[in-house]
Structure 1
Amino acid sequence: MARFLKKNDMTAGKPPGSLIFVGQQKVTEPRLRIIDYDEETLRDEIIRDVDVLAPCLTSRTTSWLNVDGLHEPEVMGRVGAAFSIPELILEDIVNTGHRPKMDEYPNLIFITLKMLSINEDRDRIISEQLSCVLTGRCLITFQEQPGDVFEPVRDRIRHQSGRLRRRGPDYLLYALLDRVFENYLKVIEIMGERIEAFDEEVLDDPSPELLEEINTYRREMAFIRRAVRPAREIALKLARTENELVAEEITPYLRDLTDMAEQTAEAVETYREMLNDHLNSYNMAVSNRLNDVMKFLTIFATIFIPLSFLAGLYGMNFDFMPELKFRYGYFVLLGGMGAVAVGMLLYFKKRKWI
Structure 2
Amino acid sequence: MARFLKNIDKKAGLPPGSLIFIGQQRMDEPRLRIIDFNPQTLRKEFIPSLEAAGPIKTTATTSWLNIDGLHDSDLIKRIGEEFDLPALMLEDIQDTGQRPKVEEYPDHVFITMKMLFLNEDQSEVWSEQLSAVLTENYLITFQERPGDVFEPVRNRIDNPNGKMRVRGCDYLLYTLLDCVVENYLKVIEKMGERIEEIEDEVLENPEPDLLEEINLYRREIAYVRKAVRPVREILSKLKNLDSEVIVHETMPYLRDLVSLEEQAVDSTEIYKEMLADLFSTYNMAIGSKLNDIMKFLTIFATIFIPLTFLAGIYGMNFESMPELHYKYGYYILLGAMSAVAVGMLLYFKKRKWI
Shared fold, TM over 0.5: yes
Distance 1:110 1:7 in 2: 23
Distance 1:17 1:322 in 2: 102
- Give the aligned partner of residue 237 of structure 1: 237
Distance 1:160 1:234 in 2: 31
In structure 1, the gaps of 5 or more residues are: none
- Say whether the 8 Å CA contact 2:114–2:130 is kept in structure 1: yes
Distance 2:13 2:297 in 1: 65
Question: CA RMSD, aligned part only?
Answer: 1.2
Shift of 1:312: 1.5
Distance 1:278 1:105 in 2: 46
- Say whether the 8 Å CA contact 1:303–1:341 is kept in structure 2: yes
Shift of 1:16: 0.9
Distance 2:161 2:180 in 1: 20
Shift of 1:285: 1.1
- Give the aligned partner of residue 353 of structure 2: 353
Measured against aligned partners, the alpha-carbon deviations of 1:18-67 in whole angstroms (never above 9, x if no partner) come to: 11111111111111111111111222121123223332222221111100
Distance 1:272 1:62 in 2: 41
Change (3 A) 1:116 1:161: farther
User: 245-254 or 324-333, which moves further after superposition?
Assistant: 324-333
Structure 2 residue 323 is the aligned partner of structure 1 residue 297: no
SS at match of 1:325: coil
Shift of 1:161: 4.2
- Say whether the 8 Å CA contact 1:53–1:82 is kept in structure 2: no
SS at match of 1:127: strand
Distance 2:155 2:84 in 1: 29
Moved over 6 A (4+): none
Equivalent residues in 2 for 1:183-262, closer than 5 Å: 183-262=183-262
User: 171-180 or 230-239, which moves further after superposition?
Assistant: 230-239
Shift of 1:351: 0.5
Distance 2:307 2:256 in 1: 76
Measured against aligned partners, the alpha-carbon deviations of 1:250-293 in whole angstroms (never above 9, x if no partner) come to: 11100110010001011111111222222222111111110000
SS at match of 2:324: helix
SS at match of 1:17: coil
- Give the aligned partner of residue 78 of structure 2: 78
Distance 2:319 2:282 in 1: 59
- Give the aligned partner of residue 152 of structure 2: 152
- Give the aligned partner of residue 330 of structure 1: 330
Distance 2:328 2:240 in 1: 98
Distance 2:276 2:160 in 1: 47
Distance 2:24 2:207 in 1: 37
- Give the aligned partner of residue 51 of structure 1: 51
- Say whether the 8 Å CA contact 1:134–1:169 is kept in structure 2: yes
Number of residue pairs matched by the alignment = 354
Percent of aligned positions that are identical: 62
Structure 2 residue 168 is the aligned partner of structure 1 residue 168: yes
Distance 2:161 2:295 in 1: 70
- Say whether the 8 Å CA contact 2:136–2:168 is kept in structure 1: no
- Say whether the 8 Å CA contact 2:33–2:46 is kept in structure 1: yes
Measured against aligned partners, the alpha-carbon deviations of 1:180-226 in whole angstroms (never above 9, x if no partner) come to: 00111111111111111112211222111111111111111111111
- Say whether the 8 Å CA contact 1:59–1:137 is kept in structure 2: yes
- Give the aligned partner of residue 69 of structure 1: 69
SS at match of 2:154: helix
Distance 2:161 2:125 in 1: 32
- Give the aligned partner of residue 33 of structure 2: 33
| 1:349 maps to amino acid | K
Measured against aligned partners, the alpha-carbon deviations of 1:113-154 in whole angstroms (never above 9, x if no partner) come to: 110111111111111000001123111000001111111111
Distance 2:158 2:203 in 1: 52
- Say whether the 8 Å CA contact 1:114–1:227 is kept in structure 2: yes
User: 239-248 or 254-263, which moves further after superposition?
Assistant: 239-248
Distance 1:123 1:56 in 2: 41
Distance 1:72 1:331 in 2: 93
Distance 2:289 2:54 in 1: 72
Distance 2:79 2:32 in 1: 10
SS at match of 1:110: strand
- Say whether the 8 Å CA contact 2:136–2:170 is kept in structure 1: no
